[in-house]
Amino acid sequence: MAFGRRRQAEEPAEGPEVTEEPAETAEEAPAEAGSAKAESAAGGPWDSEDSFPELQRLDFGALQVPVAPGLGFQVNFEATQVDEEGNPLDGRPVAVLVQYEESAMQLQVFAAPKRSGIWDDVRRETAKDIQEEAQGQTQEGEGPFGAELLAMVPAALTEEVLAEMPQEVREQIPAEFVEQGWAPQIIRFLGVDGPRWFLQAVVQGAAIEDEEQWQVLEDVLRGVVVHRGDAPMPPRELLELQIPQEFSEAGEDGEEAVETFDPFERGPEITEVR
């Protein structure tokens, strides 16, 4: 199987589901902390204990993400409380979405064992889920951060989905896709094993093929700083994220940002950083 892309390489949009595992002791898994970190060590992502370059970054707690002109940021939430009808009442931030032109990159960071990485296992599990549950196809390859996964999954094109699309986007969809009710969607998964953490990036949109848009997102990923903290955590547990102060300030100034943080309508976001 081959996907059309600039280089051979490569979660559904919400990211692969991970399950909690028992905390690992220092004596277990003597392997080194993953090969992906070695591949990307020259330019990050960085651990907060590293000597990393000073950049303007948004502080999302466990993730500090570089900002640049044209970038948009949104926080994805997961429901933690629901009412009797299953409607969400409260939630916690679980991912940072970086947007650039027609491209998006979702960032999530997890706890990992002290002396081994988890990207190899996560990658295999993600590929299996895509093939068996989403009826998609996957292909492994090498990229700038090491091993990657490229997936092609069928995306529904129901009347409701089409109605919500901007007219200019809908007009670009081939008629045969509309007739069959679905279109192939390409998703690129990247992973970096760090010291006691695992960072996953999921890329969608034009950056799959467009080198210029991908380079902007790659630069963001290389500039990310992960703050793991000292608290013991089971492998694969999400590290805690928070809402940056800039989100509140932008809302107070009347700039392009939501003024209230309703995570179930349109997560808090800064539509553009200038």
Distances (CA, A) of 103 to 1, 11, 70, 106, 207: 24, 16, 11, 10, 5
What local confidence, expressed as pLDDT, does residue 7 receive? 35
* Residue spans of the chain under pLDDT 70: 1-42, 248-274
Q: Which of 245, 149, 154 is nearest to 203 (CA)?
A: 149
CB 149 within 8 A of CB 266: no
What local confidence, expressed as pLDDT, does residue 251 receive? 52
CB 190 within 8 A of CB 45: no
What local confidence, expressed as pLDDT, does residue 57 receive? 95
Q: Which of 3, 1, 5 is nearest to 207 (CA)?
A: 5
- Can you name the residues that pair with 203 across neighbouring β-strands? 105, 188
CB atoms within 10 A of CB 191: 25
What local confidence, expressed as pLDDT, does residue 103 receive? 94
29 is written with which tokens? 């898994």
Domain ranges of the chain: 46-79+87-251
What local confidence, expressed as pLDDT, does residue 64 receive? 96
